[in-house]
Structure 1
Amino acid sequence: MVYDLAIVGAGILGLGHALAAARRGKRVVVIDRDAQANGASVRNFGFVTVTGQGAGDCWTLARRSRDIWAEIVADAGIDVLQRGLMLAARLPESEAVIDAFLRTEMGEGCRRLTSAQACEAVPALRPEAARFALHSPHELRVESRHAIPRVTALLAERHGVEFRWNTSIVAVEAPRLITAGGDVIEAEAIVVCPGDEFTTLFPERLAAYGVTRCKLQMLRLRPAAPAPLASAVMSDLGLGRYLGYADLPEAEPLKRRLDADMAAQRENGIHLIVTQSADGSLVVGDSHHYATTPDPFASEAVDQLILDEFDAVLDLPGRTVTERWIGTYASAPDRWRLTDRPSDAVRIVVVTAGCGASTGFGIGEETIADLFGPVS
């Protein structure tokens, strides 16, 4: 059988391309070296983030991806566990950043809240941690480790996408893909979504972008008593890291303040995100360290810095850590994503900023339109 599209990689970016092609009636095969998605796509917050993404195509594609998530969750049997974002800020320099953000087009639908309003919406917030608050209605949160398999099942059962697991592709010679076992798969078009694996397919082309890996640490906490969070929670550190805020001129004083007063957090790339699972536990993170081959070890000191910020923002005494894990994703110094074109029929697509869950569906539509033409 000759497919219309072959996709290498079954993470969220590969699934985004498969969905976009399948919705056009294309015959699609997705090939992955593992038995199921096991990388960044299932090790994250499941937080489909719009507000705070970098201005331009990152923000635009995040909005589109959020809409696609909203379209498919019911059919896929995925629960939306939280909606919106509460960014609670305590530093005086944060106020100007929030106000400046609200004046941009990205602030549409968002609003500034008083401390009392923020604490009413999220009762676990410490009032002193929410002197200034930004609320966004745009986000949604799913449980990644459950959502990714369910999107996969939806594609297979509803759209006829074929999945070939435990299959490594060692060469792409369009229209052919060669497996490690010597089998040949033929497709009119090929999309390679390698995640942070840069050395097997097109290594010289990927090397030209200066790609490396980012290692992050995350935790799951269990509150001592029920503490429902209607929305995800972030803090001042997010204003200094997420480019939708941090690239604003008004963010410069805040970044200097963070560098001076929270140097350890900034040096370890820490910003606070707290999301909640169906059982009431909290997914908390994260940190960022960069290396060609990051070590596999989690630092207790880094985890403690994350927990210190958590405790500064949320009043949940007696919380306990029930899980810890490490994730890695692709990173590049000068771009948040890349699309490389080895030939007319082949695309290499990588998200290089850790926002694949937030942008992957939109990127998939873009690539499929490039390969097969715009929707008529």
Structure 2
Amino acid sequence: MAQYDLAVVGAGIVGLAHALAAARRGLRVVVIDRDAQANGASIRNFGLVVVSGQEPGISRSRAERSRAIWLDLAAEAGLDVLHRGKLVVARRPEALSVLQAFAATPDGDDCALLSPADVTARLPALHGAEIAGGLYSPHELRVESCEVLPKLTAFLAEQMGVEFRFGVAVTAIEPGRVVTSAGPVHAVKVAVCPGDDLTSLFPERIGQYGVRRCKLQMLRLADPGFQLGAALVSDLSLLRYEGYALLPEAAALRRRLESEQADELANGVHLIVTQSADGSLVIGDSHHYGTTPDPFGSEEVDRLILREFARLFPAAQRTVTARWTGTYSSARHAAFRDAPHEDIRLVMVTSGTGASTGFALGEETVAELFG
């Protein structure tokens, strides 16, 4: 009978992060997932590892550590980093005030404030947009999630000795044993990383954290004929990242956006733009919350996202080649780790930052379980 040191339930980025941390300690690891491959939030996102803008404290620290691990894996596992850095474009003076305040904090030390001319010099495609200034962060990384997850899984299996059991449902967790649809799996410790599955395992414990689901909408645009060089965000995004939104200067920006872009705020729309290796752009997104959000994309929400894109890129073509929705777990805190038993941990990222903070969370959990 096989005996594992750690069983990980869930093969999304948070589950893989736990498997990596354990395998690097020389532990025997098995990962169990009900799907044939990762199919949830881990591959339906921007592939953007965000550091600047994370809430100061543990979230920022986790993002910094996770970024370092991503860079290690880029070399070890052949993961492609498509571009680095983040350009924050302020369209309004109020947004620029937020960026100036952020740059004056310790977390903004390595970032550069930009004049309107500096912004368009970095990205000439912004010519014609109304720009008050900007900020450049050197920390962000961009990967193609739907390509990186399979590569990382293969690396863990082939180079790190991690065993994967896909297409297997976990029905119960007991100390030392994981009950599955394919029979029991015996493991000394268990890490449950359920993504946005709120009911299959430990629903009563998940419920204590007030977790619900967030539905997002995203689009892919055909190659616009220019190179970004870095991820891009703008005014609306400053209200969604606590590292900016918690600054006192954000209050004035919020008031102006409430009067000028109430529809965007009501639908949780902000603008992130990243670029894929083929030149196409991934843009989004929106945020709607519920225990079970409906699965349908809204044409009106897509219109709001595309309209915000057009404000920054007035001359760019906007040919949509793909649309999709995704869901992730959401709660007041960015993430939590719960202990149903001394040998079991329930780990959830509840802020859409799995790619940004998951590797650090994995290390923390493995250290907690194994000392």
Please state which band the TM-score falls in when normalised by the shorter chain.
over 0.9
SS in 2 for 1:205: helix
Contact 2:53 2:242 in 1 (8 A): yes
The aligned residue for residue 96 of structure 2 is: 95
Q: Matched residues in 1 for 2:152 and 2:45: separation?
A: 16
> Is 1:149 matched up with 2:147?
no
* Segment of structure 1 superposing worse, 131-140 or 308-317: 308-317
Q: Matched residues in 1 for 2:314 and 2:136: separation?
A: 19
The aligned residue for residue 45 of structure 1 is: 46
Give 1:315 shift: 3.5
SS in 2 for 1:293: coil
Give TM-score scaled by structure 2 length: 0.98
The aligned residue for residue 216 of structure 2 is: 216
The aligned residue for residue 274 of structure 2 is: 275
Q: Deviations over 1:41-87 (max 9, x none)?
A: 00000011101111111111011101100010122222111100000
Q: Matched residues in 1 for 2:227 and 2:300: separation?
A: 28
SS in 2 for 1:271: coil
Give TM-score scaled by structure 1 length: 0.97
The aligned residue for residue 350 of structure 1 is: 348
SS in 2 for 1:186: strand
The aligned residue for residue 306 of structure 2 is: 307
Q: Matched residues in 2 for 1:202 and 1:343: separation?
A: 11
SS in 1 for 2:210: coil
Q: Matched residues in 2 for 1:338 and 1:300: separation?
A: 34
Q: Matched residues in 2 for 1:128 and 1:219: separation?
A: 21
SS in 1 for 2:229: coil
Q: How does 1:1-376 map to 2 (within 5 A)?
A: 1-126=2-127, 128-181=129-182, 183-224=183-224, 226-332=225-331, 334-373=332-371
- Across the aligned residues of Structure 1 and Structure 2, the Cα RMSD in angstroms comes to 1.0
Q: Deviations over 1:310-359 (max 9, x none)?
A: 00012343320000000000011x21111110011000000000010100
Contact 2:125 2:316 in 1 (8 A): no
Q: Matched residues in 2 for 1:32 and 1:276: separation?
A: 30
Contact 1:223 1:317 in 2 (8 A): no
Q: Matched residues in 1 for 2:145 and 2:17: separation?
A: 14
Q: Matched residues in 1 for 2:313 and 2:136: separation?
A: 16
Give 1:126 shift: 3.4
Give 1:129 shift: 3.5
Give 1:180 shift: 2.2
Q: Matched residues in 2 for 1:202 and 1:190: separation?
A: 13
Gaps of 5+ in 1: none
Match of 2:292, as an amino acid?
T
Contact 2:66 2:356 in 1 (8 A): yes
Q: How many residues align?
A: 370
Give 1:259 shift: 1.1
Q: Matched residues in 1 for 2:37 and 2:315: separation?
A: 35
Contact 2:221 2:321 in 1 (8 A): yes
Contact 1:223 1:281 in 2 (8 A): yes
Give 1:256 shift: 1.0
SS in 2 for 1:84: strand
Match of 1:77, as an amino acid?
G
Contact 1:240 1:258 in 2 (8 A): no
Q: Matched residues in 2 for 1:339 and 1:199: separation?
A: 17
Gaps of 5+ in 2: none
Contact 1:88 1:129 in 2 (8 A): no
Contact 1:126 1:312 in 2 (8 A): no
Q: Deviations over 1:236-259 (max 9, x none)?
A: 011122110001111111111111
Q: Matched residues in 2 for 1:211 and 1:220: separation?
A: 29
Classify 1:361/1:316 alpha carbon distance in 2 versus 1 (closer, same or farther; 3 Å): farther
Q: Matched residues in 2 for 1:148 and 1:130: separation?
A: 36
Q: Deviations over 1:194-238 (max 9, x none)?
A: 0110111111111111111000000000145x2111001100011
Q: Matched residues in 2 for 1:316 and 1:204: separation?
A: 51
Give 1:127 shift: 5.2
Q: Percent identity?
A: 57
Contact 2:92 2:131 in 1 (8 A): no
Q: Matched residues in 1 for 2:126 and 2:46: separation?
A: 20
Q: Matched residues in 1 for 2:64 and 2:109: separation?
A: 12
The runs of 4+ residues in structure 1 deviating greater than 6 Å are: none
Give 1:99 shift: 1.0
Q: Deviations over 1:70-116 (max 9, x none)?
A: 01012222211110000001111112111110111110210101111
Match of 1:357, as an amino acid?
A
